[in-house]
Amino acid sequence: MGHRNLYYGTLSGMYDCGFACWPYQQDMQEQGLGLDKVEMKHFVITHQNDKILMWPDAWTIDDAGWVYNIANKGNEFLDGELDFSGTDSNFRIISVFMDDMSYVA
């Protein structure tokens, strides 16, 4: 969670696999509510790709405003289908500039 957005992963179904964020500050301002009562009305998809972002796993925010997303193929690992031959990447690090800061900053 950042000072401006809550970051989360999307899985197959309504949206392709990827990363998204909820600009909760915008919804709080529009609804006139605190974080404990605000409803999610807006969201932003930052990355989508069913092939390379199958299992959105972890996020971090650096002190320059970049959000780093880590994706792996955890679903293939659990199914015993993960390819260790080296022909494809099993882990990916994706970054996007969101001009945000970590909630612990």
pLDDT per residue rounded down to tens, the chain (105 residues)? 888 899 988 876 656 788 889 999 999 999 999 999 999 999 988 888 777 777 788 888 999 999 998 888 877 888 888 888 888 888 889 888 999 888 886
What is the Cα–Cα distance from 88 to 33, expressed in whole angstroms? Answer: 46
Question: What is the reported pLDDT for 14?
Answer: 59
Residue 61: other Cβ atoms inside 10 A:
21
50 touches 42 (CB < 8 A):
no
Of 85, 59, 83, 80, residue with least CA distance to 71:
59
